[in-house]
Amino acid sequence: MAEKTEVPSDACRRIVLCGFETDSLSFFADLIRLGSQSPTKRTDRSAAEVSITADRTVISVSCDDLFRLRKLGRRFTKSNEDWRTIILVGDPRQVLRKREQSTGAYAIGYDRSLDISAAGIVTYSSPGLLRVSEAIRLARTAYPERTLVVRCEDIDRDPELIRHALSSFTGLPMRRPFSGLLQHPKLSRRPWPSLSDWQINEKDAARLVRQFRLAPELNDLREEWGYAARADLAWLSALGDAARCGFDDTQGTIFCYHTDDTFYASEVARLRRSVEVLGLKLDITVVPPTQDWLSAVRLKPIVLLEARKRIRGPLLYIDSDAIVHRTPWPYLRGYCGDIAVAGHPRQAIISGTIFLNDTEGAIQLLEEWIAVQDANPDHWDQHSLEHLVLRHGKASGPHRIEYLPPELCRVFDRVYPRPIEPIEPIIEHLQASRERFAGETEVNVNLTRRRQRIAEVDALYISGERRSNTLRLLASRGTDVTRWSEPTNLLASWTSRAQKVARLIEPGEIVLDIGCGAMTLESELPEGCTYIPADLVKRDERTLPCDLNAGRVPDRYANVVTMIGVFEYCHSPESVLAVIARRWPRLVLTYNPADLDGGRDRLRHGWFNALSSAAVLALAQQVGFRLRMIVPLGRERIYDLEIVP
């Protein structure tokens, strides 16, 4: 009779196993179960959905739990559970090379990961490496004693060291040597490649070069996760020498078409202005008016085929009711397939943005798109494009279809589920169809949102008044009270930024929100927080008066001061930091560093300063702050600072 085993009294009853790659998590969960001499149970569900019992330790396996760890921790603490979190990471150089089996596309990027929906449609929607790293930092800050980060490769390098670390961390007796278990028949093959096998083809090399250029923070990850010092970039230089195309940011052509009428002509004028600001090439085709909207959108593959045959080089199609916020070409030059399409997370393929390489395969796919559409006269362009993607979106197909991230096809008011949000759009679609289909007297919430967003965009791209006004305010060192007194200038698109700041706040803290604006932060704060709004303009009866440029700050105690979208509008940012450092112990501020601008005109945004990210940190350190964390937010950064005790 086998000896009955029990869970030791000092062993935890819940292990939350998470990371960014399901195969690695599954392998590691089975390794723990085989190595432990205590009863364990594995479940491939979120820890939030799994109850625990006294007779065994439950190991939950879920990638997405990484983004719920602080919430889970609060829940388990409240219920007096003993839990541990194990997070698996890998060398970013290897992770970025991993491909999704069924499509052959790269599975993980610095920004996004591939997500396969139940319908078989693939979209770039899941969080990428930078979002993963942010979640890991949050977990280690909130629960340092309950969080263990394990490098996948170390299981091969020193399996017994990992075994001892796990036994000590979880309290589970692991007396079976891992070195032997690695060959166990019930253990699947390790899903990560060996670092000693650094064989890399030119395409993978070019991808790594491009990814590290687009996101230099990847160097920080290699150091943070213990793979190499940040300054150790000899490998990247060698790759760059071998794959010079990784530095090719040559512009292609942005293309759109519209029917010959005044309605869409005004939409295209807005698009043209946004493209001209960036100095990008734009090709516009005007087609005769059609009898209805369906006929107009069904022209899309036909017009695209003509453009693909006529225009040389990469081609980026976008709908005429869109705008371009920043150049997409450094990102798009990394795409080597015939076409690349976008899709709503875990939902349908959408046709508002389509990338077409200058290949015969792209032409053949467009011809097939037309044929599919002709065979289905009631379908609009998006339906037939989705049919095409489902037919060819596999690694073994004759043509290569790749997948664009939400930043390149962002519907302006679409809300993405967490942890995908926030999305800072490169290309933003403004949904002109809402104007065409709205009733004359109908109260239409979607239409109202569109018109508000149009007003915001036009103020940014059409009028030169804001730039001139910024120059006047710089000369007088004044604050733009008129602008901030107008509620329509408090943009709805800033909500996602407040959500990310709120994730850095702990329950029960007292938060002074300087420059509170629409006070979006208040509704996003954790349970039990006290919210104190302060602003130039009295937003409600609680609002404390504040003008940083005039040296007026509230005289109220707080654990945390937040400055969301404020620091850019300070004439003397070093003086502002000094004032805050003397009064409050912690500051969470957002900022658009000048070194990440990509040529953006800061005066047109009304900004008074242009600091690099390093300069922000240097000023903060000079007045006594130390850095807790930097959170990437597109080109923006969130700086979590605290006073050195």
β-bridge mates for residue 586, sequence order = 642
Q: What is the mean pLDDT of each run of 10 residues along the chain (645 residues)?
A: 59 91 87 88 92 89 91 91 94 89 87 81 85 89 93 89 94 89 77 63 90 88 85 84 87 94 88 89 94 88 97 97 92 92 85 97 96 91 91 84 92 81 86 76 73 81 74 92 83 80 93 95 94 95 95 94 97 96 96 84 89 93 92 88 89
Q: Can you read off the two tokens belonging to residue 129?
A: 């490496």
Torsion angle (degrees, nearest 10) of CA 584, 590, 596, 602: -100
Handedness of CA 442, 294, 399, 338 (dihedral sign): negative
pLDDT on residue 439 = 57
**629 neighbors 640 (Cβ within 8 angstroms):** yes
Residue 124 CB partners (closer than 8 Å, separation 6+): 109, 112, 113, 114, 115, 342, 343, 403, 404, 405, 406
Q: How many residues does the chain have?
A: 645
Helix (H, G, I), strand (E, B) or coil at 621: helix
pLDDT on residue 443 = 56
Torsions phi, psi for 82 (to 5 deg): -100, 120
Packed helices 217-224 and 129-142: angle between N→C axes, nearest 10 degrees: 50
Residue 632 CB partners (closer than 8 Å, separation 6+): 130, 134, 215, 217
pLDDT on residue 231 = 73
pLDDT on residue 48 = 93
Query: Rounded to an integer, what distance in angstroms lies between the CA atom of residue 526 and that of residue 211?
Result: 34
pLDDT on residue 441 = 44
What tens digit of pLDDT does each residue of 390-406 get? 888 887 788 999 999 99
Max Cα–Cα distance, the chain, nearest Å:
88
pLDDT on residue 493 = 66
What tens digit of pLDDT does each residue of 112-143 get? 888 877 777 888 888 889 889 989 988 998 89
pLDDT on residue 117 = 76
Give kind and range of the element (H or E) at residue 135.
Answer: helix 129-142
Residue with tokens 């709205």: 438
What tens digit of pLDDT does each residue of 505-518 get? 999 999 999 999 99
pLDDT on residue 1 = 34
pLDDT on residue 3 = 46
pLDDT on residue 193 = 61
CATH code at 14-181: 3.40.50.300
Q: In CATH, what is the architecture of 476-643?
A: 3-Layer(aba) Sandwich (3.40)
SS3 per residue for 546-614:
CEHHHCECCCCCCCEEEECCCHHHCCCHHHHHHHHHHHCCEEEEEECCHHHCCCCCCHHHCCCCCCCHH
Q: Which residues of 140-177 are buried (b: 16+ CB within 10 A; e: fewer)?
A: bebbeebbbbbbbbebeeebeebbebbbebbbbebeee
β-bridge mates for residue 630, sequence order = 639
DSSP 354-411: EEE-SSHHHHHHHHHHHHHHHH-TT--HHHHHHHHHHHH-STTSSS-EEE--GGGSEE
Helix (H, G, I), strand (E, B) or coil at 485: helix
Residues of each domain in the chain carrying CATH 3.40.50.300: 14-181
For the question of whether the overall pTM of this predicted structure is more than 0.75, the answer is yes
Residue 389 CB partners (closer than 8 Å, separation 6+): 121, 122, 341, 349, 401
pLDDT on residue 438 = 63
The CATH class of the 253-435 domain is alpha beta
